[in-house]
Structures are given as structure tokens and as C-alpha cells.
Amino acid sequence: LKYHNLASSLITLTTDFGLTDTYVGVMKGVILGIAPRAQIVDLTHAIAPQNILEASARLEAAIDFFPSHTLHLVVVDPGVGSRRDAVVVPTDKGVFIAPDNGVLTLPLRRCLARTAVRLGDQASPYLRQPVSATFHGRDIFAPIAAHLAAGVLPESLGDRCDPRTLVLLSVPTPYEERSEEGRPVLHVPILYCDHFGNLITALTPAEWSAWHARLGIDAEEAAAKAVIQAGSGRWKGIRRTFRDVEADAPLAYWGSAGRLEIAIREGNAAQTLALTSRAAIYLTF
């Protein structure tokens, strides 16, 4: 099956395959062999091996910046070769193609999804045969994305299901605890760390507003008086951008991923503050 007169379609790839091997290139070969005019964008191939949560958080932060007809293909798949399902989920912010292992948990929180499709026997003619036991990105996910780009309807690939029946990840969430002196402290897990050493936390502006409002503190005062404890660093205030602090000083700011981030101006916060993606930071007043 190959589609020649195809309007160009946009497909993003998110994997833990890295770029040193040919895995990603081979997936693109499969896609372009089916849908020759697809536009393929690498979202990232540097997800930590088999880290479903990181993939979920990174994809969530990216989808708002792609057209709503985009196909988002995610292959972070520790269960490859086992009986986990593959799913297609059409939403108002793009169509997701992924293993049903929880990786869509965070993106789907921000989308309207009325239905999902679990790939079934109906999908067989659209797969690359024989399907290998170790590389479903190439044999299942890439050809399915390409056929969807070419206009195949999700419903023709398997049985519909309620999106609420998909596997859900347990996502680290901010919660309130008490300091030794009894003051309320917001415990905020770190979700992942970027290439600059900036730490992306789980805290959203909505969660932050709800918390400081409950303590009777308004937005401006909360930003000015928040005390941030992040690894070996401790400082006051949430800032707007890097330039609001001196070089080498740490800062907290609402990052481009829509969550609170920790950085060192012109430095590497993960290294300097000795923090990793399994740690947490603490906010108090």
C-alpha cells in the first residue's frame, strides 16, 4: 500500500532510540515509503531509555506548538514484544500513536479525546510484515502513522474504546507537607532535566495559585516571598527570566513547558545544585 498524491502531512517522533543508530532513520524510510510527502519532525530521541514518564511530560509540553492535524508518534516501549496494546487516539490537539503503557497520560490531560482505537487484526494489512519481536517502532508504529497520514481512518485499524480505559501512569504531583516548625511547605517533584541543566518541576501555575490562595497570599506577594529550597540552594522569589538575577545565581521561573523551572543564570542548575530528575524542591513562605 503506497499513497502518491498525498497532501503533505506532519508526523512527530518521540523515542528513546538516540541518534547514533539507524533506528530513527529506518522508521523514516518506512514512513516515506508509504507516505512520500509526509513532513517528519524529530521531537526528541533522547528520552532516557524506557522512561515513560519523561516521554509523557516532554510530549505534553510540546503539543500546543504543533498544528491540530499533527500525528504524534511515540515509541518508548519497555514492553515491546509482549502483549501490551498499540493505540491510536484522535484528539483536538493531534492524533497520538503509541504503545498503551501510560505514555499518553500527560498529553491526554490537555486534550479532548472522545475515542481511542486499540490496534487489532484489522490493522494487519497496514503493518510491516513479518512484525519483528523487538522493533515495533519500525514494523507497527511507523507504518500505522504513515497510513493515517495518507487518510486511513483510525476506526479501520481496530476496535474503539473509551480513552479512560488506557493504561495510566502514576505521575508525581506536588503536595503540601509541614516543616519542623509546623509551617506549610509545598513538596514539588522534579520531572526531568534539560540540556542546559535546567530542572523542569511538576508544578503548574494553576496548582501554585490554588496553594498560595488557600494560604491567603495573593499572586504578587507569593511570587516575591516564596522561599525556594532546591538541592544545595535556597533563595527567595519567583522571577520572570534569567536576566532578573545575577550571573551564576539560581532562579525559579515559569518555564516554556508550562511548569515551574529551576535554573542557574549562565550555569547548570542540575550540576551546581546537585539535583536529578528523581529529586524534589520545596516552596514555603
Total residues at the site for a second copy (CB under 8 A)? Answer: 61
| Residue appearing with cell numbers 481511542 | 116
5-64 binders of a second copy (CB under 8 A): 8, 10, 12, 14, 17-26, 28-30, 32-33, 36-37, 39, 41-46, 49-50, 58-59, 61-62
Considering the complex, state which of residue 65 and residue 182 has its C-beta at the smaller distance from a second copy. Answer: 65
User: Strands 39-44 and 71-75: what pairing?
Assistant: unpaired
Q: How far is the CB of 145 from a second copy (least distance, A)?
A: 14
Interface characters, 180-219, with a second copy (x: CB under 8 A): --------------xxx-----------------------
The residue ranges of DSSP E strands in the chain, in sequence order, are 10-15, 39-44, 71-75, 86-91, 94-99, 116-119, 158-161, 175-178, 184-193, 199-201, 227-230, 233-236, 238-239, 250-254, 260-264, 280-284
Question: Taking CB under 8 A as the rule, does residue 82 contact a second copy?
Answer: yes
Return the sign of the alpha-carbon dihedral for residues 85, 109, 75, 29.
positive
User: Judged by CB under 8 A, does residue 256 bind a second copy?
Assistant: yes
The shares of helix, strand and coil residues in the chain, as percent rounded to the nearest 5, are 30, 30, 45
Count of CB atoms situated within 10 Å of the CB of 43: 19
- Per CB under 8 A, residues contacting a second copy are 8, 10, 12, 14, 17-26, 28-30, 32-33, 36-37, 39, 41-46, 49-50, 58-59, 61-62, 65-67, 70, 78-82, 128, 132-135, 138, 194-196, 240-244, 253, 255-256, 266
